[in-house]
Amino acid sequence: MARVVDLLQYLLEERGSDLLVKVGSAPCLRRNGRLERTTLDALRPEQIEALAAEILPESKAAEFQETGETDLAYSVPGLGRFRVNVYRQRGSVSLAIRRVVPGAPAIADLGVPPIVADLAAQRDGLIVVAGPAAAGKTTTASAMIDHINAANARHIVTVEDPIEVLHSDREAIVSQREVGSDTTNVADALRRISRQDADVVFVSDLPDADSVREALAVAAAGRLVIAVLNTLSATDTISWMIDRFPPHQQGSARSLLGRVLRGVVCQRLVDRADGRGRVAVVESLVGTHKVRDAIIDGGDPMLLERLMSEGEYHGMATFDQALFQLFSDEYVSLDEALERAIHPEDFRIAVQQAGLATLR
């Protein structure tokens, strides 16, 4: 009979980030962003059900029975922590397992631009760490929390679903709350932050309009809020947050967001030219006066994009500008850069004008 610990051990030995388990197919491994079929045996329905029963606590098992899916963090001594999603597909149980890298890395070790550390040094306001799924957002956000934890005597309260990276108290005190076991939902947790004497708040997701509204209110009250969102660009992030509000409230929402926004960092992972994994391409929008005014006046994406492209002095860069820098530094090949660029033809022209067309 297959055991969860055997699957987790396999994931670590193969240096994978994710393992997908479903009925009728051999488990699949994701390594450096690419999905690969393994040589493991396909599992029968009852085997996968037994695996799920092995890891699900009573509360999560009840949620799974009611909704057909649930998320949890799962720890094994000697192996580490894993994020697990248990879900049903075509009537059978499936598992998506993600390895959580132990501890929070230093910002300097991530290869991200200096603006990430600059934003983490803010005293108040809203910072959004955005990007598509599996783009390293949690890693970057955890590094920012660790940066604050190491440097400042502050109370950091996290609201996570689930808790992935464990933070020990350093200069700061860190209180980590998990949705489902420590609080009912994100919005309720944020609503009570003021009673917990928090200086910094980290939110692993803003799943609905209420949570967005409460996050803005917490930031407006003088606390630093770091939130993670699954959006594709900095401009998409601004639009997404405003669109959570009904039309008659969007004007006041833009005004509040413009007032509290300190920055958006939106990242994607691309293949390194040397074949040694992937590197983060980080688009950055900083809450300068011009950016805040643009958000308040309507958040026109074209205007925000232009302000980013012209905002190098403030640490801003569009995705293509950040990608061009990585290509210039030979971290990314020309083929990969052109495939990932938002505007590939403009990117090609910029490469030729810079005399870099021969770099691979």
Task: Work out the number of other CB atoms within 10 angstroms of the CB of residue 255.
Answer: 14
244-274 tens-digit pLDDT: 999 999 999 999 999 999 999 999 999 999 9
Reduced to 3 states (helix: H, G, I; strand: E, B; else coil), residue 98 is strand
- Does 121 share its domain with 72? no
Closest Cα to residue 256, out of 234, 302, 225? 225
- Any domain includes 328: no
Give the pairing of strands 155-160 and 200-203.
Answer: parallel
- Does 184 share its domain with 153? yes
DSSP assigned state of 183: B
Q: What is the structure's pLDDT at 216? A: 98
209-233 tens-digit pLDDT: 999 999 999 999 999 999 999 999 9
- Is a pLDDT exceeding 50 seen at residue 359? no
Say if residues 317 and 328 touch (Cβ distance below 8 Å): no
- Does 87 share its domain with 111? no
- Does 149 share its domain with 286? yes
pLDDT band at 355, cuts 50/70/90?
Answer: confident
- Does 153 share its domain with 27? no
Provide the mean pLDDT of the chain.
94
Q: What is the structure's pLDDT at 346? A: 95
- Does 211 share its domain with 83? no
Q: What is the CATH number of the domain that holds 24?
A: 3.30.450.90
Domain stop point among 55, 82, 100: 100
Helices (H) and strands (E) in the chain, counts: 14, 13
Q: What is the structure's pLDDT at 172? A: 97
- Any domain includes 337: no
121-160 tens-digit pLDDT: 999 999 999 999 889 999 999 999 999 999 999 999 999 9
Task: Work out the number of other CB atoms within 10 angstroms of the CB of residue 272.
Answer: 18
Q: What is the structure's pLDDT at 27? A: 95
- Any domain includes 131: yes
- Any domain includes 85: yes
- Does 123 share its domain with 233? yes
* Count of the separate structural domains present in the chain: 2
How many residues can be counted in the chain? 360
> Can you tell me the distance from the alpha carbon of 212 to that of 196, in angstroms, rounded to the nearest whole number?
19
273-296 tens-digit pLDDT: 999 999 999 999 999 999 999 999
- Does 89 share its domain with 145? no
Q: What is the structure's pLDDT at 94? A: 97
41-89 tens-digit pLDDT: 999 999 999 999 999 999 999 999 999 999 999 999 999 999 999 999 9
DSSP assigned state of 104: P
Least trusted range by pLDDT, from 163-172, 210-219, 253-262, 308-317: 163-172
- Any domain includes 340: no
Least trusted range by pLDDT, from 22-26, 53-57, 178-182, 355-359: 355-359
- Is a pLDDT exceeding 90 seen at residue 360? no
Alpha-carbon distances, residue 152 vs 122, 123, 222 (angstroms): 11, 10, 16
Say if residues 233 and 187 touch (Cβ distance below 8 Å): no
- Does 156 share its domain with 88? no
- Any domain includes 326: no
Extract the runs of DSSP E, i.e. beta strands, from the chain: 18-21, 28-31, 34-37, 69-76, 80-89, 92-100, 125-130, 155-160, 173-178, 200-203, 224-229, 261-271, 278-286
Alpha-carbon distances, residue 226 vs 155, 264, 304, 313, 334 (angstroms): 14, 10, 21, 23, 34
- Is a pLDDT exceeding 80 seen at residue 1? no
- Does 162 share its domain with 258? yes
Q: What is the CATH number of the domain that holds 200?
A: 3.40.50.300
Percent of the chain whose predicted confidence (pLDDT) is above 90: 89
- Any domain includes 86: yes
Domain stop point among 60, 75, 100: 100
Reduced to 3 states (helix: H, G, I; strand: E, B; else coil), residue 317 is strand
- Does 113 share its domain with 222? yes
Residue 94 backbone zone (phi > 0: left; psi -120 to 50: alpha; other: beta):
beta
CA Rg value for the chain? 21
- Any domain includes 153: yes
- Does 84 share its domain with 146? no
Q: Which domain holds residue 117?
A: 107-317
Q: How buried is residue 35: exposed, middle or buried, by Cβ count under 10 Å (0-12/13-18/19+)?
A: exposed
Least trusted range by pLDDT, from 12-26, 96-110, 182-196, 339-353: 96-110
Q: What is the structure's pLDDT at 357? A: 66
Say if residues 115 and 263 touch (Cβ distance below 8 Å): yes
